[in-house]
Structure 1
Amino acid sequence: MQLHQVDEVEEVMMEVDPARHRFPCCVVWTPIPILTWLFPFVGHMGIATSRGVIRDFSGSYSVSEDNMAFGWPTWYRQVDPNTIDGGMEAWDRAVFDASEEYKGHIHTLFCDNCYCHVALALNKMKYGQRRDHNCFRLVNMLLFKGRYVG
């Protein structure tokens, strides 16, 4: 009985709740006005902790928490943390470590941006048993496996 209750609690914890802006273990994306209209694959990306709190590289030396630079997500891809060695703890550690590292980075539009921050977190946790995530893989992941917030 207790094991079943633990599974139910974990399932509730993993529920995406757009009304409360909670996206547990998700890569999230939102459009950037004008820029996304001209280039539809260009937007702002973040990554959420296992509790759903979004972290995003919002500018030079700045990683926001629970306050995305261009508004709340419109698109997301939830990842099963059980597919990562170490589960939720490894997920949160990778998100934290990538965020701490990016607090020391200068933001550039094309070379070191919010997509790179998310890719670093996924590489640190070895998501999909890979360490070669990049901007193009992230766009592909959201485009083909993502869900619209709606």
Structure 2
Amino acid sequence: MGEESLRKAIDVARDRFPLCIVWSPLPGLTWFVPFIGHMGIADSHGVIYDFAGPYSIGEDNFAFGRPTRYLQLELPEEISTEAWDDGVREGCAVYRKRMHNICCDNCHSHVARCLESMGYPRPLGGWNMIYLCFYMLFCGHFVNFKGFLLTWGPFVVIMMFIIAFTYMH
């Protein structure tokens, strides 16, 4: 499938993001550190799966609201859409048996496991939560301007208050 046809397949209004990693802000935490948020992965039909909590995989119900960012991955020739979907299913099966740990074994780790399971080409050092965090930060796309505002707006407002308060004294 060419990149152009995949881009057309993204349907933000229905939350369908085929072959994508998706991201949304975490209330409170993202307000202070805007590149930290909740991550999930979509199958070839665009249905989102996320490690929503201990022993829990969300399917088509993203845990912290609708995605505000996405990163569509290109399928290398050696990976079919069936292999992609199998990798997502395998990663989800593993994480349905895991306790959630915000710092060490979290939604980003789940996405990394799915990518490893499908054999998606690995970056140097393999897929992990740190790499995925910065991959989304630098290569991800906002779904729309509202997604941008939901991600960066609270941070900017907080910084403006801090700066104003600092200069008032």
TM-score (normalised: structure 1): 0.87
SS at match of 1:100: helix
C-alpha contact 1:115 1:138 (8 A) present in aligned 2? yes
Q: 1:61 aligns with which of 32, 55, 70?
A: 55
- Indicate whether 1:105 and 2:98 are aligned: yes
Give the aligned length: 142
Provide the secondary structure at the position in 2 that maps to 1:47: strand
Distance 1:97 1:14, change over 3 A: farther
Alpha-carbon deviations, 1:30-75, whole Å to 9, x = none?
Answer: 0011111122221100000000000000000000000011001000
Q: CA deviation at 1:110?
A: 0.2
Is 1:11 matched up with 2:15?
no
**What pairs up with 1:110-121 in 2 under 5 angstroms?**
110-121=103-114
The structure with the largest alpha-carbon Rg is: 2
SS of 2:127's equivalent in the other structure is coil
| SS in structure 1 of the partner of residue 9 of structure 2 | coil
Q: Structure 1 CA distance, aligned partners of 2:86 and 2:98?
A: 19
Q: Supply the distance in 2 between the matched residues of 1:24 and 1:111 (Cα, whole angstroms).
A: 27
Note if 1:49 corresponds to 2:43.
yes
**Helix, strand or coil for the counterpart of 2:63?**
coil
**Residue 20 (structure 1) shift:** 0.8
Q: What CA distance in whole angstroms lies between the structure 2 residues aligned with 1:29 and 1:122?
A: 16
Aligned-residue CA RMSD (Å): 2.0
Q: Which runs of 5+ in 2 are unaligned?
A: 145-169
1:20 maps to which residue? 14
Matches of 1:27 and 1:17, distance apart in 2: 14
- The runs of at least 4 aligned residues of structure 1 exceeding 2 Å deviation read 10-14, 128-131
What is the distance in 2 between the residues matched to 1:111 and 1:129?
20
Quick one: structure 1 residues 13 and 140, their matched pair in 2 at CA, closer, same or farther if it must change by over 3 Å?
closer
Q: Percent identity?
A: 46
What is the distance in 2 between the residues matched to 1:106 and 1:28? 21
Query: 2 CA distance for matches of 1:12 and 1:144?
Result: 20
Of 134, 139, 143, which residue of structure 1 is paired with 2:137? 143
- TM-score (structure 2 length as normaliser): 0.78
CA contact (8 A) 1:14 1:24 kept: no
* CA deviation vs aligned residue, 1:73-93 (integer Å, no higher than 9, x gap): 000000122x16231111100
Preserved CA contact (<8 Å) 2:20 2:73: yes
